[in-house]
Structure 1
């Protein structure tokens, strides 16, 4: 694919931070729930450590540091996030137009659980663009930054990795797409990049291109 004017056979969208402006909301929920269990983690630290990662990765992080999270940690976080999303989640500005005008097939590949992805798309009115073409870290052995999820999505969609374009907002997502042999564009229009240099962060991770507004999806 030509980087400037790609004609992909498939476009894979991450959900959080690409389709919906959810990263700050979910990191606040994570920070709050951890605090309830006596673990201190700021929203900024949550973004740095877990942006684009699954809840399993969060548990593994603490396990690697000799700390075990309570059994009800994941259910508590999931419940808090779903409740928060139901009342406050917004779509990324302009993404509905981009999805409506796409010529290539598209799907979602997210580190979040399927119920969270489904709720996010329902609440923001974006579900109509994807139907059941939703793939999550629950469906593969290794989540991002491993390539498993993107390769799984491409296989299900009948597309070759080399003919697939991924839209990602996280370092782990960019790394996963690169490892899968796919072209990847970094998106930095979510609220979590207002105080961070997302362009530098995702470019350093290996993004082929970085853009900040959905109106610039296809570039000049």
Structure 2
């Protein structure tokens, strides 16, 4: 694909931080729920460690440190996130217009579970653009930064990975897309990049292009 004027057969959108401005909300929820179980983690550190990764990755991280989180950690986290999203989640500005104007087939590939993705899209009015074309880390063995999820989405959409464009906001997502042999555009318009150099972060991760406003989606 020509980076300046791509003509992909499929566009795969991450959800959190690309379609919905959720990353700060979810990291705050994670910090608060961990605190309930006696684990201190700042929102800033949560962004560094877990941006673009699944809740399972949180458990694995602490297990590797010799700290097993209680069995009810994940249900508590999920409940807190869903409650917070239902009352406060907003779409990324301009993304609805981009999706309305797309002529290329598109889908979602997210590290979040299906319930959270579905709620996020329903709350923000974006669900109609995707229907049941929602693919999550629950559906594959290895989540991002492994390529499994993006390859699964392309296979389900009958698309060639080499002709697939991924829109991602995280290092793990960019690496996953590149490992899948796809073109990856980094998006840094979410609130979690307000005080961080997202362009440098995602460029260093291998993004083919980085942009900060959905109104610039097709601009070189």
> How far apart, in 1, do the equivalents of 2:197 and 2:70 lie?
34
SS of the residue corresponding to residue 115 of structure 1 reads: helix
**Unmatched runs of 5 consecutive residues or more in structure 2:** none
> How far apart, in 2, do the equivalents of 1:78 and 1:193 lie?
24
Aligned counterparts, 1:12-31, within 5 A: 12-31=12-31
Aligned counterparts, 1:99-138, within 5 A: 99-138=99-138
Q: Does 1:165 align with 2:131?
A: no
SS of the residue corresponding to residue 104 of structure 1 reads: coil
Aligned counterparts, 1:170-181, within 5 A: 170-181=170-181
Q: Does 1:95 align with 2:107?
A: no
TM norm structure 1? 1.00
> How far apart, in 1, do the equivalents of 2:87 and 2:56 lie?
26
Deviation sequence 1:44-94 (CA, Å, 0-9, x none): 000000000001111000000000000000000000000000000000000
1:103 CA displacement: 1.0
- Corresponding residue for residue 68 of structure 1: 68
- Corresponding residue for residue 83 of structure 2: 83
Q: Which aligned segments of 4 or more residues in structure 1 are displaced greater than 2 angstroms?
A: none
> How far apart, in 2, do the equivalents of 1:3 and 1:181 lie?
14
| Pairwise CA RMSD | 0.4
How many residue pairs end up in the alignment? Answer: 220
**Unmatched runs of 5 consecutive residues or more in structure 1:** none
Q: Does 1:37 align with 2:37?
A: yes
> How far apart, in 1, do the equivalents of 2:39 and 2:46 lie?
12
SS of the residue corresponding to residue 185 of structure 1 reads: strand
